[in-house]
Structure 1
Amino acid sequence: MMEAFDTDRGGAGCLRGMVGQSPRFLAALKLIARIAHYDAPVLIEGETGTGKELAARGIHDGSRRRAKPFVAVNCGAIPESLIENELFGHSRGAFTDAGIAVPGLLRLAHQGSLFLDEIDALPARGQVALLRFLQDGHYRPLGAQHAESADVRIIVASNRRLKTLVGEHSFRADLLFRLHVLSLEMPALRDRPGDPWLLAHHFLDEFAQRYGSISGEARRSIDSHAHAWFDAYAWPGNVRELENLIHRVFLLSDGPELSLPAPDVPALGGPELLQAAAGDAPQSYTAARTQALDVFHRRYLDALLRRTQGNVTQAARLAGKERRALGKLLQKYHVDPSRFRM
Structure 2
Amino acid sequence: MDKVQSEKQPSVLVVDDEADLRQLLEITLSRMGMQCSTAASLGEARELLGRQPFDLCLTDMRLPDGRGMELVEDIQRDLPALPVAIITAYGDMELAVEALRKGAFDCVSKPLDIDQLRALVNQALGSPVRPDGDDELVGNSAPMRTLKSRIEKLAKTEAPVCIWGESGTGKEIIARQIHARSHRGKGPFIAVNCGAIPEDLIESEFFGHLKGSFTGAAAQREGFFQAAEGGTLFLDEIGDMPMSMQVKLLRAIQERKIRPVGAEHEQLVDVRILSASHKQLHDEVASGNFRQDLYYRVNVIELQVPPLRERSEDISALSRTILEKITRRNKESGIQCRAELTDAALEELRLYAFPGNVRELENILERALALCEAGRITPADLSLSSRPVYASSGSSESDVDECEQLVAVLEQYRWNRSAAARQLGLTLRQLRYRIQKYGLDQDLDQEFKH
TM range, smaller chain: 0.7 to 0.9
Distance 1:244 1:4 in 2: 28
1:292 equivalent in alignment to 2:430: yes
Distance 2:387 2:432 in 1: 14
- Secondary structure of the residue aligned to 1:81 is coil
1:81 equivalent in alignment to 2:173: no
1:194 equivalent in alignment to 2:313: yes
Conserved 8 A contact 1:69-1:109? yes
Distance 1:50 1:241 in 2: 9
Which structure has the larger Rg over C-alpha atoms? Answer: 2
- Counterparts in 2 of 1:289 and 1:60: CA distance versus 1, 3 Å: closer
- Secondary structure of the residue aligned to 1:156 is strand
- Counterparts in 2 of 1:27 and 1:104: CA distance versus 1, 3 Å: same
- Partner of residue 409, structure 2: none
Deviation string, structure 1 residues 75-105 (Cα, Å, up to 9, x no partner)? 1101111111111010122112323210110
Distance 2:170 2:249 in 1: 24
Distance 1:21 1:112 in 2: 29
Q: How does 1:145-156 map to 2 (within 5 A)?
A: 145-156=264-275
Q: Under a length normalisation based on structure 1, what TM-score does the superposition of the two structures give?
A: 0.74
Conserved 8 A contact 1:106-1:152? yes
1:256 equivalent in alignment to 2:375: yes
Report the aligned-residue RMSD.
2.8
1:198 Cα deviation (Å)? Answer: 1.7
1:134 Cα deviation (Å)? Answer: 1.0
Which residue among 324, 327, 352 is the counterpart of 1:205? 324
**Greater RCO, 1 or 2 (C-alpha within 8 Å, sep 6+):** 1
- Partner of residue 105, structure 2: none
Distance 1:27 1:174 in 2: 29
Deviation string, structure 1 residues 32-65 (Cα, Å, up to 9, x no partner)? 1110110121100000000000000001000111
- Counterparts in 2 of 1:272 and 1:258: CA distance versus 1, 3 Å: farther
| Residue type at the aligned position of 2:302 | S
- Partner of residue 63, structure 2: none
1:246 Cα deviation (Å)? Answer: 0.7
1:268 equivalent in alignment to 2:394: no
1:104 equivalent in alignment to 2:223: yes
- Counterparts in 2 of 1:272 and 1:198: CA distance versus 1, 3 Å: farther
- Partner of residue 4, structure 1: 130
- Counterparts in 2 of 1:79 and 1:219: CA distance versus 1, 3 Å: closer
Distance 1:293 1:37 in 2: 41
- Partner of residue 232, structure 1: 351
Deviation string, structure 1 residues 283-310 (Cα, Å, up to 9, x no partner)? xxxxx9624336769xxxxxxxxxxxxx
Distance 2:247 2:318 in 1: 40
Q: How does 1:16-27 map to 2 (within 5 A)?
A: 16-27=135-146
The aligned length equals 275
Conserved 8 A contact 1:267-1:296? no
- Partner of residue 318, structure 1: none
- Secondary structure of the residue aligned to 2:191 is strand
Deviation string, structure 1 residues 278-336 (Cα, Å, up to 9, x no partner)? xxxxxxxxxx9624336769xxxxxxxxxxxxxxxxxxxxxxxxxxxxxxxxxxxxxxx
- Counterparts in 2 of 1:262 and 1:249: CA distance versus 1, 3 Å: closer
- Partner of residue 39, structure 2: none
Which residue among 292, 315, 326 is the counterpart of 1:173? 292
- Partner of residue 220, structure 1: 339
Distance 1:219 1:198 in 2: 16
Which residue among 164, 167, 184 is the counterpart of 1:45? 164
1:26 Cα deviation (Å)? Answer: 1.4
Distance 1:82 1:251 in 2: 41
1:124 Cα deviation (Å)? Answer: 0.2
Conserved 8 A contact 1:137-1:151? yes
Conserved 8 A contact 2:330-2:337? no
- Partner of residue 117, structure 1: 236
Conserved 8 A contact 1:70-1:115? yes
Name structure 1 gaps, 5 residues minimum.
7-13, 274-287, 298-342
Q: Under a length normalisation based on structure 2, what TM-score does the superposition of the two structures give?
A: 0.57
